[in-house]
Amino acid sequence: MSPVGSAIRSDSDLGYGGGRMRIKPWVLPAAMLTGALLGLLIGASLGERWADPSVEPFVLFVRMLGVVFLSALKALIVPLVVTSIVVGVTGMGDLRRVGKAASATVVYFMTTTFLAVVTGIVLVSLINPGSHAVGNAAAAPVELAKAVAQTPARAIYDVITSMFPSNIIAAAADSNILGLIVFSVTIGIVLSLMGPAAKPLNDVIVAANDALLKLVRFLVWFAPLGILGLVADRIGKAGGGAVVWQELAGLGWYAATVMLGLLVHAFINLSALLVFIGRRRWWPYARGMVDALLTAFGTASSAATMAVTLQCVVENNKVARRAADLVIPLGTTVNMDGTALYEAVAVIFIAQSMGIELSFAQHLLIAVTATLAAVGAAAIPEAGLVTMVLVLGAVGLPAEGIGLLLSIDWILDRFRTTVNVWGDSIGAAIVDRMVPADDAAVPTNRY
Ligand code: ASP
């Protein structure tokens, strides 16, 4: 065995289970939850003084914990997307399987996103939170409105052109993940077609991917501190517990509608798909995803969470690499159930609070454009707020309506990002079941 191989004797040495450390599976999630709660406590109690020079060293220390953790996660995105997708495609073996997996993935993404939107529309129509709205609109976010595509045609154009970057290095630097995915799928297909001649390069990519996932397993142990830093800093910047509570209470009906919708979608719609189509038991699967779900909550970014999602899906939930490696990077970028649901609720809430009645056709238009806006949203904090301009424009509402929701968007963002990640993880289990293993494929389950 090589010196490197003998230094780390088994996969479980750095993780849970029967290795040298024998750490119980609940320790890390419990530590992450504690980190989130401590962050909440610190940010809420110190928030009023967050910008005060007397506490600056402490604030900077707390902020540093979050920034370093977030940067470490983000640094993994580009190499992980490229190697995972290539491993996923070559791991399928027969290229017809890639086609089958891709269609199953797209059908899953589209159906669940649409289901999320419909759930949101039904709830917001029944609850009618707009009738309780208090007029606390922030300044009109004109720059937000200008930042995005304002028509569905433009949004589709933007998504399709971003799939074909002219410079792959620039695509990586600009976080054009969709462009990287298309590039990597193409390389994966070419490697599959080359057969044995591609083996050396394949081996390198598989080993690189294995190494990155091992790194993630190490990194997640810093998540409790990272989450503490991120949560405390965000609440602190918002002004502390009293301010946040006041803002939340002002938009309480709206926030409650979004949260209820997210709960229904996560616990009923998606969970039913996991159990009945993915044929997985709910509790073990959910337990296996806890690290990723808490990281999503802490970072408010599915892209930053992607590495942990992949690790949880593959290692804790034993989803085959060929499915996870395709579905997770793609899902992170385009499948955002929580975002779609929230956009639909938010737009109808804005209409309700302005006293505007929407027709059935307009509801339908909201459903379609919210799905599109969620696909177009980047997997970063509060991206959904920006793409909402598209949905508002489609039904003739002013982009300034977003001002109503600005103050608490960062809170709801954390919950919808968690649902986005949960949806991706279930997609991986379903595609795994729909596209069984091909014995002739390049072996990829070494990790
Ligand atoms: N923050 C979300 C995500 O990364 C996107 C959004 O809804 O703003 O999944």
**Nearest protein Cα to ligand 1, atom 6:** 384
Residue 17 covered by a domain:
no
What percent of the chain lies above the pLDDT cut of 90? 64
CB of residue 416 inside a 6 A radius of ligand 1: yes
Residue 15 covered by a domain:
no
Q: How far is CA 160 from CA 172, 271, 343, 380, in A?
A: 17, 31, 22, 20
| CB 438, CB 97: distance < 8 Å | yes
- DSSP per-residue letters across 98-125: HHHHHHHHHHHHHHHHHHHHHHHHHHHH
Does residue 21 carry a pLDDT above 80? Answer: no
What percent of the chain lies above the pLDDT cut of 70? 89
CB of residue 442 inside a 6 A radius of ligand 1: no
**Nearest protein Cα to ligand 1, atom 2:** 417
Does residue 443 carry a pLDDT above 50? Answer: no
Q: Which residue has better confidence, 91 or 164?
A: 164
- DSSP per-residue letters across 150-167: -SHHHHHHHHHHHTS-S-
Record the tokens describing residue 317, joined without a space. 């939930």
Ligand 1 nearest atom to the CA of residue 339, by list position: 7
From 265, 309, 336, 405, mutation site for ligand 1 pocket: most ligand atoms within 8 A of C-beta: 336
Residue 379 covered by a domain:
yes
Return the pLDDT at 140: 47
Does residue 7 carry a pLDDT above 50? Answer: no
Record the tokens describing residue 40, joined without a space. 């909440």
Return the pLDDT at 96: 85
Does residue 4 carry a pLDDT above 60? Answer: no
Q: Which residue has better confidence, 121 or 440?
A: 121
CB of residue 405 inside a 6 A radius of ligand 1: no
Does residue 186 carry a pLDDT above 90? Answer: yes
CB of residue 377 inside a 6 A radius of ligand 1: yes
Residue 53 DSSP class:
G
Residue 440 covered by a domain:
no
Residue 292 covered by a domain:
yes
- pLDDT (average), residues 304-332: 94
Q: Which residues contact 74 (CB under 8 A, 6 or more apart)?
A: 303, 304
Return the pLDDT at 10: 37
Record the tokens describing residue 382, joined without a space. 């509060």
Return the pLDDT at 5: 37
Instruction: Give 130-173 pLDDT, tens digit per residue.
Output: 887 655 555 545 555 555 556 788 888 888 999 999 999 999 99
Instruction: Give 49-73 pLDDT, tens digit per residue.
Output: 888 898 899 999 999 999 999 999 9
Residue 155 covered by a domain:
yes
CA distance 392 to 366: 8
Record the tokens describing residue 297, joined without a space. 């909550």
**CATH number, residue 158:** 1.10.3860.10
Does residue 328 carry a pLDDT above 50? Answer: yes
- pTM equals 0.88
CB of residue 420 inside a 6 A radius of ligand 1: yes
Does residue 40 carry a pLDDT above 60? Answer: yes
Residue in the block written with tokens 């433009």:
154
Does residue 361 carry a pLDDT above 70? Answer: yes
**Nearest protein Cα to ligand 1, atom 1:** 381
**DSSP element (H, E) containing 208:** helix 199-219
| CB 428, CB 407: distance < 8 Å | no
Residue 362 covered by a domain:
yes
CA distance 230 to 39: 7
How many domains in the chain? 1
Residue 134 is part of which domain span?
35-434
Helix (H, G, I), strand (E, B) or coil at 435: coil
**Closest residue by Cα to residue 337 from 244, 285, 273, 408:** 273
Return the pLDDT at 153: 84
| CB 148, CB 389: distance < 8 Å | yes
| CB 78, CB 181: distance < 8 Å | no
Does residue 267 carry a pLDDT above 70? Answer: yes
Mean pLDDT of the chain: 87
Residue 148 covered by a domain:
yes
Q: How far is CA 285 from CA 291, 297, 426, 434, in A?
A: 12, 18, 9, 17
- pLDDT (average), residues 94-120: 92
CB of residue 421 inside a 6 A radius of ligand 1: no
Return the pLDDT at 14: 39
Q: Which residues contact 167 (CB under 8 A, 6 or more apart)?
A: none
Instruction: Give 343-358 pLDDT, tens digit per residue.
Output: 999 999 999 998 899 9
Return the pLDDT at 9: 35
